[in-house]
């Protein structure tokens, strides 16, 4: 099935391309960004007709998608533009798409452009830096007029509320907004491989998910497809990490597992999926019950397996039941004369009222939760990641 752009002009050949507005929505960037890339880097339509709106051919669109993927991966826009133009050579022409003369940023010579590498390399990012404020790019102007706009009609000015985040987070969000599943998965895999699960979750994955979620709440159902796409790929990535680690050699089935469960009525499972992946990577046994676990099932599970620790996630106050958490913390299990209890960790923004509950532990981040659980007497397998 193909999607065609409505044409308002009626000029011959209009059907050969899409408008700048349509392309901007498809890519998840603003029309201003497309015009800026055309002016600064020569990334414009290959064919232009004087006195008419610009039309982007399928080859032009493919070139711009390549440009977006590279900038989302952290490649400087000027370098990404040069590579995108070289790759976008129509068959049989030998001539790159875009302008006849490849422009660069002010002060950059043609000789300097010609000597650039064919394959770009995104700049490395130290774990304690590299944040980019929304709408404020670096010297290359990657954020000049570039907002994360929606993919459907009627969403002008609908930028995602990212704030000051890592460039990788902005790249992931851009890929999700333009519904580029391949780029989303590439960004997720690269983030986890480069920074590790905890840093990738706290600095890249979670901020992107929060921004999409806030936009969905404020814009009705307009961003539901973006939220679903990003959530699905984040879940797939985290579960892949869990499965890979849980099948590693040397894993013992004798240790008592950590029980991870969302409170009754709570369906947000991704934070617990991240925790399960990190614990599995460190060789700690996990029993993941998932979303909306009934209270009776939670209590029965703790008593049945004798868990050393249980983590309860609540996204909102409406699902945070202090009564259930207290009951689990007071539950005793084991043989008579040697009964013990389970350490209860309440996690998530819904547990604000638990700050004075001395019998409950309240980690504030994924890193805090891993540290707290490691102190509950859990035994990692040999050879696990420390």
Rounded CA gap, 382 and 322, in Å? 37
Q: Give the tokens for residue 266.
A: 């709570």
Residue 80 is encoded by which pair of tokens? Answer: 């990404």
Q: What is the reported pLDDT for 54?
A: 77
Confidence of residue 31 (pLDDT cuts 50, 70, 90): confident
pLDDT at res. 77: 84
- pLDDT tens column, 123-151: 444 444 455 444 433 323 333 223 333 33
Give the pLDDT confidence of 53-87 residue by residue, as tens digits.
Answer: 778 888 888 898 888 888 877 788 888 889 988 88
pLDDT at 328 over 50: yes
* Tens of pLDDT, residues 104-123: 443 333 333 333 334 444 44
Cβ atoms of residues 30 and 178 within 8 Å:
no
Over residues 360-386, the pLDDT tens digits come to 999 999 999 999 988 765 544 444 444
What does the longest C-alpha to C-alpha distance in the chain come to? Answer: 90
pLDDT of residue 121: 43
In the prediction, which pLDDT does 385 show?
Answer: 46
d(CA 17, CA 20): 10
Greater pLDDT, 2 or 190: 190
Q: What's residue 164's pLDDT?
A: 81
Across all residues in the chain, what is the average pLDDT?
A: 75
Where does residue 219 rank: exposed (0-12), middle (13-18), buried (19+ CB within 10 A)?
A: middle
Cβ distance 141 to 40 under 8 Å? yes
Say yes or no to pLDDT of 263 above 90. Answer: yes
Whether residue 174 is predicted with pLDDT greater than 70 in this model: the reply is yes
Global pTM value = 0.69
Which of 75-84, 150-159, 209-218 is least confident? 150-159
Mean pLDDT highest for which of 39-43, 105-109, 244-248, 293-297? 293-297
Distance, in Å, from the CA atom of 386 to the CA atom of 383, rounded to the nearest integer, reads 9
pLDDT at residue 86 in the model: 86
């Amino acid at each position: 099935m193909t999607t065609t752009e409505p044409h308002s002009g009626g000029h011959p050949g209009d059907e050969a391309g899409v408008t700048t507005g349509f392309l901007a929505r498809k890519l998840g960037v603003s029309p201003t960004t497309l015009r800026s890339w055309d002016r600064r880097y020569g990334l414009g339509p290959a064919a232009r007709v004087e006195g008419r709106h610009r039309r982007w051919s399928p080859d032009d669109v493919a070139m711009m998608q390549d440009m977006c993927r590279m900038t989302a991966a952290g490649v400087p826009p000027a370098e990404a533009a040069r590579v995108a133009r070289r790759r976008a050579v129509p068959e049989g022409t030998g001539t790159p798409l875009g302008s006849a003369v490849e422009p660069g940023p002010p002060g950059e010579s043609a000789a300097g452009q010609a000597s650039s590498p064919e394959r770009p390399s995104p700049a490395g990012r130290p774990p304690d830096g590299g944040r980019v404020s929304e709408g404020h790019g670096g010297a290359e102007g990657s954020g000049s007029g570039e907002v994360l706009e929606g993919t459907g009609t009627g969403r002008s000015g609908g930028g995602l509320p990212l704030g000051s985040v890592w460039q990788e987070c902005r790249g992931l969000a851009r890929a999700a907004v333009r519904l580029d599943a391949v780029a989303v998965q590439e960004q997720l895999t690269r983030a986890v491989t480069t920074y590790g699960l905890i840093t990738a979750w706290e600095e890249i994955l979670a901020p992107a998910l929060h921004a999409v979620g806030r936009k969905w709440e404020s814009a009705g159902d307009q961003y539901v497809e973006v939220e679903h796409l990003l959530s699905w790929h984040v879940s797939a990535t985290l579960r892949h990490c869990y499965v890979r680690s849980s099948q590693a050699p040397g894993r013992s089935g004798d240790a008592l597992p950590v029980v991870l469960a969302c409170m009754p009525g709570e369906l947000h499972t991704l934070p617990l999926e991240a925790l399960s992946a990190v614990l599995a990577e460190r060789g700690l046994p996990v029993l993941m019950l998932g979303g909306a676990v009934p209270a009776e099932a939670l209590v029965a599970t703790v008593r049945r397996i004798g868990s050393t620790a249980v983590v309860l996630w609540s996204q909102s106050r409406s699902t945070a039941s202090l009564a259930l958490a207290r009951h689990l913390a007071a539950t005793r299990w084991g043989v008579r004369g040697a009964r013990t209890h389970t350490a209860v960790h309440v996690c998530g923004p819904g547990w604000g009222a638990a700050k004075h509950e001395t019998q409950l532990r309240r980690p504030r981040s994924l890193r805090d939760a891993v540290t707290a659980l490691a102190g509950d007497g859990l035994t990692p397998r040999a050879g696990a990641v420390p």
